[in-house]
Structure 1
Amino acid sequence: MDFSFTAEQQEFRKVVRDWVEKNCPKNVARDLEKEEFAYPFELWDKMSAAGLHGIGIDERYGGSGGDIVVQAITARELARSLAGLTWVWAISSFAGAKSVGLYGSEEQKERFLPELAQGRLRFSIAVTEPSGGTDLLGGMRTKARKVDGGWRITGQKMWSTAAHVADYLLLLAISDEEAPKRTQGKTLFLVPADSPGVETRQIPKLGMRAVGSCGVFLDDVFVPDDLVLGEVGRGWYTLLGTLNNERILLAALCTGIIDGVLEESLAHMDTRTAFGRKIGQFQSLQHYIADMVMWQKQAELMVFNAAWLQSQGKPCGLEANMAKVVASEYANRAADLGIQILGGMGYAAETDAQRYWRDSRLLRIGPISSEMARNSIAESVGLPRSF
């Protein structure tokens, strides 16, 4: 068994880390998030110029190739500095590139993938609803009605990241109210965000600032037939591959947050003195660091195990859920200890510990709550369905 990166993957990781240090170090991330409702277009453009949006897109469509392992390396290295701002890159990567690349028609791939690879298109995922939350399918109310040449969609979505600046929404809606199962009768659409009847409103929130989280309102929005992604009525099954990809990338992002917390904590412990010596000599603080290092390794192993399985075309839903739970909970615990290590300065906006904590806190809730993921994990070993 070989758990190490290949030489090519190691070199790629170094290239991304060097790019991050030059273009978006931690102080830049702190400055960007001060303006909660100002999307960081400059950061997006830098990512476009570096070719980051082409990662995971087949070279024949203008991308740079790379599998989910490469995407996870990218997410981790970005998050070490950017934390939640990593979604500036990741959302279009899985909501657009992954979804269209997996399930799009050849015409859709030729239409969207080159533009995505060049950073000329932004996507947002519009699946969660106000009445549903974790009960995604049971709480769905958004409906798509078939008309000549397309569909008319009416409803509301919540927590659609960067929908206010997106060109397209990856949107799931009920297309057949008579379907016998709730996993059936849903269709996935690529909705132009500037369509008449689409309105977005940003949601003020604790963390994940600047990238923007939105409510999306759809009032009789027309979507042509050629913007249906996958088969009509099988949108949920189409979406599953995207959701697995999202959970793996989220877990990689959380691992990057642990990396960043460790860096900041160790730097502070090496320079801060109290009671006549550096606080890095204090046993209790050393134990905090030891815990973080163990959490970091556990998260890393689980993330890249899930990524490797997906890259091999093997089932990975269980592994993606486990990686998401472990990495998100450890990231939040590490960030909390990071604040404790820095003391009062850990609570100050001029340091990163509080930013890592705020951003990682949401990731224990979405895109799937830790509780719901645990339900799925428990079912995998034969326990009865609990919801």
Structure 2
Amino acid sequence: MDFELPEEYRSFQDMVRRWVDKEVPKEWARALEKDEHNYPFALWDKFTQAGFHGIGIAEEYDGQGGDVVMQMLLARELARSLGGLAWIWGITSFAGSKSIGLYGSPEQKAKYLPLIATGQLKAAIAFTEPGGGTDLLGGMTTTADRVEGGWKLNGEKIWSSSAHVADYLLVIARSDKETEKKHQGLTLFWVPTRTAGVKITPLAKLGMRSMGSCSVHFEDAFVADEQVLGAPHKAWYMLLPTLNNERIMVGAFCLGVIDGVLEDALDYMKQRKAFGGIIGRFQSLQHYVADIATMQKTTELMLHFCADKQARGENVGVEANMLKLMASENANAAADRGIQIMGGMGYSAETDMQRYWRDSRLWRIGPITNEMVRNGIAESLGLPRSF
């Protein structure tokens, strides 16, 4: 049993870490995050120039190759500085390259994957509904009705991050209303945002500000048959592997946040002086930083386990849920302790600790609440379904 990354992965991680320190340092990320009304196109362009949009996409589609482990190493290193703004890369990676790459047709792959890999296409996810939240299936009111040559979409989605700048939306809608079970009769659509009948409205929120999150309204929006991903009415069965990937990606982002928190906490504790010496000598603060370091290591081990298992094609559903649960709570708790260590400066917008806290708070809610994750884990252990 080997817990060390192979040399190829370590070299890649080191390269990304150096790139982050040079190209997207924390002070630059902090400035980007303050501007809620302007999407950070400069950050997207930096990812494009570095070739990061092509990680996980085969070379035949102009990608850089690489497996899920490499993607998670990239996610971790980006989040160390960018926090939640790392989703600028992650959303299109999930909505575009993962979805198109897994269940797109040969024609769809040939058309869209090169555009994604070279940073020419931005995507957004439009799954959650205002009345549904975590109850994605039970709360699904967005419908897709068959018409000549395609489908008409009607309904509303919410918390669609970066939808206001996206070229395409990954949309799930109910296409068959006469089914025995809620997970049946759903279809996945790849919807151009400029489609008539699509209205996108930005929403104000606590964290990940400049990335933007939106509500999306569909009113008789026509989507052609060639914009359907996979088989009609079978979307839920196709989505499950990518939902596991999303949970693992969240785990990687959370680990990156913990890295950043620990880095900043230690720097502050070694420099800040009070009561005649550095505050790093105070036992209570040492306990806080020891907690953060322990959170870092346990999250890292679980992330590597899940990413490796997924890369080998094994079922990682329960473990991915466990990772998402543990990583999000660790990241938010670590940032909270970091604020406590830094006191007023931790609460100040002039430092990153408050940004780590605000961004990581979301991951306890989305893409699925930790309460629902716990329900699923308990059910996997043979207990009755609670919802």
| Smaller-chain TM-score bracket | over 0.9
Q: Cα RMSD between the aligned structures?
A: 0.6
Q: Please give the alpha-carbon distance, in whole angstroms, between the structure 1 residues aligned to 2:62 and 2:41.
A: 22
Output the CA distance in 2 between the equivalents of 1:169 and 1:107.
18
Partner in structure 2 of residue 146 of structure 1: 146
Pairing 1:358–2:377 present: no
Deviations 1:72-103 (Å, cap 9, x if unpaired)? 00000000000000000000001110011010
| Amino acid of the structure 2 residue aligned with 1:235 | A
Counterpart for residue 318 of structure 1 = 318
Give, in whole Å, the separation in 1 of the partners of 2:237 and 2:193. Answer: 23
Q: Does 1:180 align with 2:180?
A: yes
For 1:373, the equivalent position in structure 2 comes to: 373
Quick one: distance in 2 between partners of 1:231 and 1:278?
Answer: 62
Deviation at 1:241, TM superposition (A): 1.8
- State how far apart, in whole Å, the 2-side matches of 1:290 and 1:253 are: 21
Q: Deviations over 1:356-376 (max 9, x none)?
A: 000000110000100000000
**Structure 2 letter corresponding to 1:305:** F
SS of structure 1 residue aligned to 2:343: helix
Letter in 1 for 2:373: A
Q: 1:238: Cα distance to partner? A: 1.4
Match of 2:153, SS? strand
Normalised to the residue count of structure 1, the TM-score between the two structures is 0.99
| CA deviation string 1:213-232 (max 9, x = no partner) | 11001110011101100110
TM-score, with length taken from structure 2? 0.99
CA contact (8 A) 1:95 1:242 kept: no
Q: Deviations over 1:123-182 (max 9, x none)?
A: 101000001001000000000001111100011001111000111100000000001111
Distance in structure 1 (CA, Å) of the matches to 2:320 and 2:168 = 26
- 8 Å contact 1:188–1:238 — kept in the other structure? no
Q: Percent identity?
A: 60
Between the aligned partners of 1:334 and 1:70, the Cα distance in structure 2 is: 25
Deviation digits for residues 103-128 of structure 1, max 9, x if unmatched?
01100000000000000000101000
Give CA deviations for 1:225-268 in whole Å, capped at 9, x if unaligned. Answer: 01100110001111212211111111100000000000000000
Q: Distance in 1 between matches of 2:125 and 2:155?
A: 15
Q: Shift in Å at residue 304 of structure 1? A: 1.5
Counterpart secondary structure, 1:151: strand
> Partner residue of 2:160?
160
Amino acid at match of 2:82: L
Superimposed CA distance per residue, residues 294-353 of structure 1 (whole angstroms, 9 cap, x where no aligned partner): 100111111111111110000011111000000000000000000000011111100000
The amino acid that maps onto 1:142 is: T
1:43-62 alignment, distance < 5 Å: 43-62=43-62
Equivalent in the alignment of 2:234: 234
Give the equivalent residue in structure 2 for 1:109: 109
**CA distance, structure 2, for counterparts of residue 204 and residue 81 of structure 1:** 23
Is this contact kept in 2: 1:177–1:185, CA < 8 A?
A: yes
- Tell me the SS of whatever aligns to 2:221: strand
Matching residue of 1:190: 190
Q: Distance in 2 between matches of 1:240 and 1:111?
A: 24
Bigger CA drift: 301-310 or 114-123?
301-310
Partner residue, 1:251? 251
Whole-angstrom CA distance in 1 between matches of 2:43 and 2:351: 20
Look up the match of 2:133: 133
Instruction: Note if 1:260 corresponds to 2:260.
Output: yes
How far residue 50 of structure 1 moved from its aligned partner, in angstroms, is 0.6
* 1:169 counterpart residue number: 169
Amino acid at match of 1:355: R
Count of residue pairs the alignment pairs up: 387
1:28 and 2:19 matched: no
Matches within 5 A, 1:326-345: 326-345=326-345
1:14 equivalent in structure 2: 14
Conserved 8 A contact 1:128-1:158: yes
Query: Quick one: distance in 2 between partners of 1:192 and 1:113?
Result: 15
CA drift of 1:288 comes to: 0.5
Instruction: Give the aligned residue type for 2:53.
Output: H
Give the match for residue 100 of structure 1. 100
> Structure 2 CA distance, aligned partners of 1:231 and 1:314?
23
SS in 2 for 1:263: helix
Aligned equivalents of 2:309 and 2:95: distance in 1?
A: 20
Cα distance in structure 2, aligned partners of 1:308 and 1:238: 21
Alignment partners' CA distance in 2, 1:28 and 1:85: 11
1:21-62: CA deviations, max 9, x gaps? 111100001000111121000110110011000000011111
SS in 1 for 2:338: helix
- Counterpart of 1:10, as a letter, is R
Q: 1:195–1:222: 8 Å Cα contact kept in structure 2?
A: yes
1:207 aligned partner: 207
Where in structure 1 do 4 or more consecutive aligned residues deviate above 6 Å?
none
1:382 equivalent in structure 2: 382
Where in structure 2 are there 5+ consecutive unaligned residues? none
